[in-house]
Amino acid sequence: MRPRGKRAERRAATARGSAARLGLMAAPVAFFAVFFAYPVAAIVARGLRVDGGWRFGRIGDVLAQSDVRHVLWFTTWQALASTALTLLVALPGAYVFARFHFPGKQALRAVVTVPFVLPTVVVGTAFLALVGRGGLLDELWGLRLDTTVWAILLAHVFFNYAVVVRTVGGLWSQLDPRQEEAARMLGASRLRAWRQVTLPALAPAVAAAALMVFLFTFTSFGVVQILGGPAFSTLEVEIYRQTSQVFDLATAAVLTLVQFAAVAAVLAVHAWTVRRRETALTLVDAATTARRPRGRGQWALLAGVLVTVAVLLVLPLAVLVQRSLGASGFGYYRALTREDGGAFLAAPIEAIGNSLQYAVAATAIAVVIGALAAAALTRRDAGRLVRGFDALLMLPLGVSAVTVGFGFLIALDEPPLDLRSSWILVPLAQALVGVPFVVRTMLPVLRSVDGRLREAAAVLGASPWRVWREVDLPMVRRALLVAAGFAFAVSLGEFGATVFIARPDNPTLPVAVARLLGRPGDMNYGQAMALSTILMLVCAVALVVLERLRTDRSGEF
């Protein structure tokens, strides 16, 4: 064949590839444009446009205010401190999970992951029950942390422990231990071999985990809302306050933009480290690298990690359950079934049904959108544009959920998109947060499908659709289920956006908990604990199912 003809043919193939990719991307792009970019833009415009003209000067004005600067400063340093503390506490855990065999390891791995899928409201409530007024520490030693920043930091460690254990531990368990042995044979001590060989290999995973933790804590809402009191406020909490209590939309808009810029910067760094993580490491089967601890030092390390998990992760949840039972047995639970006409038009228990319905719908949306996006991102010919799309998909994790929720209210209220009174509004907002999890869970698995398998199928006569159906789908089915489980748990716990758009007569579980906590009296407090316990159990069950399905632990969550 003449070279010209070949080139033309290749161009045609590229064009076909692009068309297929655009087709796959169309739905996710449209979804994000309408339900993410548009509402956020509407809020920003509402704040910064006056009489048809833009007032960018307001940005400077707002940033000049000392209390805004204070919030910015606090948001940043508490996120940095939370990240450092989480790494410090969780890295030994990552090592223990990666390298040691011990009885009950599988169960413990599920236990440490429970906090991550717990709704922020539950986490806040659990810590309140532990370190707050009348909490366990208060009763035992008169110690209260709820007015200090420590409550927030500890709750953030609680929340993100699993991020480090999974991201770093996942890679660690696949590093060939013989790399370290090779260094030792060349004269490096145990510690030096770790520093010279293992640490450089782990560095990108540690960086990726640190960035995720920073992102989650930088945008922390539910935890700070409950534990921060009047003294501590993150950007997200401040946006909520400005929008729903002070009604200063201009300030809220500026804060939203600031948060957006910060998150975009963090995500850019994250994307860079993730790409670096994929360099030339030879990975081995994780099952072959773990063994029983040997010697006093290793047993002590294992014991230390177990104690940490017990005190930091299990104790708050146990206290939560204990408080929900109170002195009256199941009294608080029974009270949940009664209509009280105060904060609720219906019995609080109905929030369970609402939450489940919303979460199922949100999961369905997130899985469809996320799977399409992941499929588009996996195509071998993915160019720079598509990689940008990759980062874009992560944005909803960082952009103020409060802004999204409020944006829904003011942007989607007129034809052709008048969804104000539609129940679908809540699942749509929740799906936005679920999509990044779906994409992140599916991508590593889809990318690990050997391209030659697809070629083999094609040579045997399978059309592209059949190739996907026969080769990709069977390999990603588990990942798809895991992704769905994550989306479900995340939707169930979504608070920042839902608090705006859930209708008063149809609250979700986290919204109902927050409302109960906002009212005085032991009865309301106890009911909040009871409802949080129910929410925790639902999430834990979802997670246990996930753990059973999950085979590959190298994913990012």
Q: Which residues bind another protein (CB under 8 A)?
A: 176, 178-179, 181-190, 192-193, 196-197, 200-201, 279-282, 294
Residue type, 206: V
For the CB of residue 275, give the shortest distance to another protein in the complex, in Å. Answer: 15
Nearer to another protein (CB atom), residue 177 or residue 229: 177
For the CB of residue 95, give the shortest distance to another protein in the complex, in Å. Answer: 19
Instruction: Decide: 295 and 90 in contact? Cβ < 8 Å.
Output: no
Nearer to another protein (CB atom), residue 66 or residue 279: 279
Of the candidates 89, 73, 55, 39, the residue with the CA atom closest to the CA atom of residue 149: 73
For the CB of residue 184, give the shortest distance to another protein in the complex, in Å. Answer: 4
Nearer to another protein (CB atom), residue 184 or residue 379: 184
DSSP conformational letter for 36: I
Instruction: Decide: 508 and 498 in contact? Cβ < 8 Å.
Output: yes
Separation of alpha carbons 527 and 431, rounded Å: 28
Helix (H) or strand (E) holding 53: strand 53-54
* DSSP β-bridge partners for residue 417: 414
Instruction: Decide: 45 and 410 in contact? Cβ < 8 Å.
Output: no
Nearer to another protein (CB atom), residue 49 or residue 184: 184
Nearer to another protein (CB atom), residue 203 or residue 544: 203
Instruction: Decide: 486 and 441 in contact? Cβ < 8 Å.
Output: yes
Nearer to another protein (CB atom), residue 282 or residue 328: 282
For the CB of residue 289, give the shortest distance to another protein in the complex, in Å. Answer: 14
Separation of alpha carbons 196 and 190, rounded Å: 10
For the CB of residue 290, give the shortest distance to another protein in the complex, in Å. Answer: 15
Separation of alpha carbons 167 and 207, rounded Å: 10
CA 182-185-189 angle, to 5 degrees, is 100
41 vs 55, 366, 518, CA distance in Å?
15, 22, 31
> What is the β-pairing status of strands 417-418 and 413-414?
antiparallel
For the CB of residue 163, give the shortest distance to another protein in the complex, in Å. Answer: 24
For the CB of residue 193, give the shortest distance to another protein in the complex, in Å. Answer: 8
Separation of alpha carbons 437 and 445, rounded Å: 13
Nearer to another protein (CB atom), residue 52 or residue 295: 295
For the CB of residue 294, give the shortest distance to another protein in the complex, in Å. Answer: 8
* DSSP β-bridge partners for residue 49: 54
Instruction: Decide: 430 and 491 in contact? Cβ < 8 Å.
Output: yes
* DSSP β-bridge partners for residue 283: 175
Nearer to another protein (CB atom), residue 106 or residue 282: 282
Nearer to another protein (CB atom), residue 140 or residue 280: 280
For the CB of residue 350, give the shortest distance to another protein in the complex, in Å. Answer: 55
